[in-house]
Amino acid sequence: MSEIAGVPWGRRLPRMIGIFLLAGGLAAAAALRMTAGTGGIGGASAAAQEAEGAGGAAPTEEPPPVPGAAPPRLPTTRPATALPPGVLVRIDGNEIPRQQYVDYLQRRLGMDRFLEFVDDYLLEKKAQALGVAVTDEEVAKSVDDVMNNRIERLRGSRERFLAEIEGRFNTLETWRAQQAERLRPRLLLERCILKTRKVTVEDVQAKFAEMYGKDGVLDQVRHLAFIKPKQDHPAGSKDAMQRAKEAYEQLRQRPDGFVEMVRERSEEPQTRRNDGMVPNYRPGVYGPAYDESVRALKAEGDVSPPVDARFAVYIVQLVRRTVTRLDDVAAEIRKQLEAQPPTPKEIHALRQQLRDEAKIES
* Domain harbouring 268, CATH code: 3.10.50.40
> What span, in angstroms and rounded, lies between the C-alpha atoms of 248 and 307?
11
String of b and e for 322-331 (b: at least 16 CB within 10 Å)?
eeeeeeebee
User: What is the per-residue pLDDT for 362?
Assistant: 75
Position 63 in a domain:
yes
Position 337 in a domain:
no
Asked if residue 191 and residue 144 are part of one domain, the reply reads yes
pLDDT over 50 at 73, yes or no: yes
> What span, in angstroms and rounded, lies between the C-alpha atoms of 357 and 50?
32
Which of 149, 174, 196 is the last residue in one of the domains? 196
Task: Please choose, from the candidates 74, 108, 79, the residue with its C-alpha nearest in 3D space to the C-alpha of residue 94.
Answer: 79
Position 229 in a domain:
yes
Domain that holds residue 222: 207-323
Asked if residue 52 and residue 18 are part of one domain, the reply reads yes
Number of folded domains that form the chain: 2
- 232 or 325: whose pLDDT is higher? 325
Q: How confident is the model at residue 75 (pLDDT cuts 50, 70, 90)?
A: low
Asked if residue 229 and residue 169 are part of one domain, the reply reads no
Asked if residue 246 and residue 309 are part of one domain, the reply reads yes
Lowest mean pLDDT among 82-96, 121-135, 218-232, 253-267: 218-232
User: What is the per-residue pLDDT for 62?
Assistant: 43
Which of 289, 304, 323 is the last residue in one of the domains? 323
User: What is the per-residue pLDDT for 112?
Assistant: 73
Asked if residue 258 and residue 172 are part of one domain, the reply reads no
Query: What are the pLDDT digits (tens) for 306-345?
Result: 999 988 999 999 999 999 999 999 999 999 999 999 999 9
Q: How confident is the model at residue 82 (pLDDT cuts 50, 70, 90)?
A: confident
> What span, in angstroms and rounded, lies between the C-alpha atoms of 268 and 362?
64
Position 348 in a domain:
no
> What span, in angstroms and rounded, lies between the C-alpha atoms of 96 and 87?
6
300 phi and psi, to 5 degrees? -60, 130
Asked if residue 226 and residue 191 are part of one domain, the reply reads no
Position 247 in a domain:
yes
Asked if residue 188 and residue 260 are part of one domain, the reply reads no
